[in-house]
Amino acid sequence: MNLFYLSKSNKAALFFAMTLLPSSLVYSQTVKDTVPTEKKIEEVVVIGYGTQRKESVTGSVVQVKGDALREVPSANITQALQGRAAGVEILQSSTKPGATMQIRIRGTRSLTGNNDPLIVLDGIPFAGSLGDISSSDIKSLDILKDASATAIYGSRGANGVILVTTNRGNKGQKARFTYNSFNGVQTLFSKYPMMDGPAFAKLRNYATPAPTGTQTSTSPLYSTSGDENLNTNTDWQSLYYKPAMITSHDIGVSGGTEGGNFNVGLSYFKQDALVPLQNYERFALRMAVDQQLGKRFRVGFTSNSNYVESEANGINPGAILGYSPLASPYNADGSLKTVMSTAGNIDQTWIYTRQRLESLGEKYVDETKAFSSYNNMYGEISLPLNGLKYRLNVGLDYRTSNSGNYTGVGVFNTNATAPSSAGRGNNQTYHWVLENLLTYDRTFGKHKINAVALYSAEGNRYVSTYLSARNVPADFFQYYNLGQSPQADIQVRPEDQTYYQNGLISAMGRAMYTYDNKYMLTATLRADGSSRLAQGNKWHTYPAISAGWTISNESFMENVKAINLLKLRAGWGQTSNQAVPEYSTLGRMAVTPYNFGNSNTTGVYVTEAPNPNLGWEYSKTQNYGLDFGLFNNRISGSVEYYKTHTYDLLTSKVLPTTSGLARILENVAETENKGVEVALNGSVFSNPDGFSWDVGVNFYTNRNKILALASGTQKDEGNLWFVGHNINAIYDYQYVGLWQAGDPYQNILEPGTPADVIGSIKVLYTGGYNADGTPTRAIGPADRQIFDTAPDFQGGFNMRFAYKNFDLSTVGAFQKGGILISTLYGSASYLNRMTGRGNNVDVDYWTEDNTGAYFPRPGRHLSGDNPRYSSTLAMFDASYLKLRTITLGYNFDKDLMESLSITSLRLYCTVTNPVVLFSPYHKFSGMDPEPNSLGNQNQAVNGYQQRQLVIGTNNPSTRNYLIGVNLTF
Please write the tens of the pLDDT for every residue from 116-131: 999 999 888 888 888 8
71-85, 592-606, 798-812: the lowest-pLDDT one? 592-606
With CA atoms as reference, report the closest residue to 812 among 824, 789, 794.
794
- Neighbouring C-alpha atoms within 13 Å toward the C-beta of 708: 14
Query: How far is Cα 352 from Cα 774, in angstroms, rounded to an integer?
Result: 53
Per-residue pLDDT, 32 = 35
Query: How far is Cα 938 from Cα 933, in angstroms, rounded to an integer?
Result: 7
Query: How far is Cα 684 from Cα 689, in angstroms, rounded to an integer?
Result: 15
User: Residues 876-903: what's their mean pLDDT?
Assistant: 91
- The Cα-based distances of 884 to 278, 382, 910, 911, 916 in angstroms read 24, 47, 10, 8, 9
Percent of the chain with pLDDT over 70: 96
- Neighbouring C-alpha atoms within 13 Å toward the C-beta of 520: 25
Is residue 29 predicted with pLDDT exceeding 50?
no
> What is the SS3 assignment for 491?
strand
Q: What is the CA 472 to chain-centroid distance, rounded?
A: 38
With CA atoms as reference, report the closest residue to 311 among 354, 266, 348, 281.
281
pLDDT band with cut points at 50, 70 and 90 for residue 31:
very low
> What is the SS3 assignment for 511?
strand
Is residue 680 predicted with pLDDT exceeding 50?
yes
Query: How far is Cα 487 from Cα 943, in angstroms, rounded to an integer?
Result: 38
Is residue 38 predicted with pLDDT exceeding 70?
no
User: Residues 233-247: what's their mean pLDDT?
Assistant: 96
Query: How far is Cα 708 from Cα 15, in angstroms, rounded to an integer?
Result: 42
Is residue 7 predicted with pLDDT exceeding 80?
no
DSSP string, 410-466: TTTSSSTTPPPEEEEEEEEEEEEEEEEEEEEEEEETTEEEEEEEEEEEEEEEEEEEE
Query: How far is Cα 336 from Cα 350, in angstroms, rounded to an integer?
Result: 11
The single-letter code of the amino acid at 930 is E
Is residue 15 predicted with pLDDT exceeding 70?
no
Q: Determine how β-strand 866-867 pairs with β-strand 875-877.
A: unpaired
Assess contact for 4 and 920: CB atoms under 8 A. Answer: yes
> What is the SS3 assignment for 669?
strand
Q: What is the CA 306 to chain-centroid distance, rounded?
A: 21
Per-residue pLDDT, 47 = 87
User: Residues 855-882: what's their mean pLDDT?
Assistant: 96
With CA atoms as reference, report the closest residue to 120 among 157, 87, 91.
157
With CA atoms as reference, report the closest residue to 775 among 793, 758, 789, 763.
763
User: Residues 553-580: what's their mean pLDDT?
Assistant: 92
Is residue 853 predicted with pLDDT exceeding 60?
yes
Helix (H) or strand (E) holding 197: helix 197-206
Is residue 809 predicted with pLDDT exceeding 60?
yes
Percent of the chain with pLDDT over 90: 74
User: Residues 956-965: what's their mean pLDDT?
Assistant: 96
What dihedral do alpha carbons 3, 6, 12, 13 form, nearest 10°? Answer: 20
Query: How far is Cα 739 from Cα 851, in angstroms, rounded to an integer?
Result: 9
User: Residues 767-772: what's their mean pLDDT?
Assistant: 96
193-197, 329-333, 442-446, 710-714: the lowest-pLDDT one? 710-714
Assess contact for 371 and 358: CB atoms under 8 A. Answer: no
Per-residue pLDDT, 613 = 87
pLDDT band with cut points at 50, 70 and 90 for residue 111:
very high
User: Residues 72-78: what's their mean pLDDT?
Assistant: 82
Per-residue pLDDT, 42 = 60
With CA atoms as reference, report the closest residue to 397 among 464, 456, 459.
459
With CA atoms as reference, report the closest residue to 184 among 961, 965, 964, 966.
961
Assess contact for 956 and 906: CB atoms under 8 A. Answer: no
Give the model confidence (pLDDT) of 409-438 as tens digits: 999 999 999 999 999 999 999 999 999 999
Per-residue pLDDT, 169 = 86
With CA atoms as reference, report the closest residue to 913 among 879, 964, 959, 957.
959
Per-residue pLDDT, 462 = 96
Is residue 745 predicted with pLDDT exceeding 90?
yes
Rg for the chain, CA atoms, rounded = 31
Per-residue pLDDT, 807 = 94
Phi, psi of 749 (to 5 degrees): -70, -40
**CA angle, residues 405, 948, 188, in degrees to nearest 5:** 60
Assess contact for 789 and 729: CB atoms under 8 A. Answer: yes
The single-letter code of the amino acid at 843 is V
Q: What is the CA 380 to chain-centroid distance, rounded?
A: 37
702's CB contacts (< 8 A; 6+ apart) are 87, 89, 106, 107, 673, 674, 675, 790
Which is more confidently placed, 32 or 675? 675
Is residue 36 predicted with pLDDT exceeding 80?
no
Is residue 904 predicted with pLDDT exceeding 50?
yes
pLDDT band with cut points at 50, 70 and 90 for residue 11:
very low
List 19's β-bridge partners, or say none.
none
Query: How far is Cα 957 from Cα 760, in angstroms, rounded to an integer?
Result: 32
123-132, 534-543, 617-626: the lowest-pLDDT one? 123-132
User: Residues 848-876: what's their mean pLDDT?
Assistant: 96
Per-residue pLDDT, 637 = 94
Assess contact for 156 and 289: CB atoms under 8 A. Answer: no
597's CB contacts (< 8 A; 6+ apart) are none
**pTM value > 0.85:** yes
Averaged pLDDT of the chain: 90
List own/partner pairs for 122-126 with CB under 8 A and 24 or more apart.
122/164, 122/165, 122/166, 122/288, 122/302, 122/376, 123/49, 123/376, 123/378, 123/393, 124/374, 124/376, 124/393, 124/395, 124/433, 124/435, 125/153, 125/156, 125/395, 125/433, 125/458, 126/164, 126/374, 126/397
Per-residue pLDDT, 600 = 77
Is residue 40 predicted with pLDDT exceeding 50?
no
- The Cα-based distances of 180 to 132, 208, 268, 905 in angstroms read 17, 61, 11, 10
List 92's β-bridge partners, or say none.
101
Q: Determine how β-strand 421-444 pairs with β-strand 447-470.
A: antiparallel
Per-residue pLDDT, 783 = 97
In 10 A of CB 257, how many CB atoms?
A: 14
Handedness of CA 905, 909, 913, 915 (dihedral sign): negative
Phi, psi of 736 (to 5 degrees): -125, 0
Query: How far is Cα 850 from Cα 861, in angstroms, rounded to an integer?
Result: 18
7-21, 220-234, 696-710: the lowest-pLDDT one? 7-21
With CA atoms as reference, report the closest residue to 141 among 85, 94, 184.
85
Per-residue pLDDT, 4 = 46
User: Residues 470-492: what's their mean pLDDT?
Assistant: 93
Query: How far is Cα 164 from Cα 124, in angstroms, rounded to an integer?
Result: 10
Is residue 570 predicted with pLDDT exceeding 80?
yes
Is residue 859 predicted with pLDDT exceeding 60?
yes
- The Cα-based distances of 153 to 124, 148, 385 in angstroms read 11, 10, 27
Per-residue pLDDT, 772 = 94
- The b-or-e profile of 669-683 (16+ CB within 10 A means b, else e) is bbbbbbbbbbbbbbb
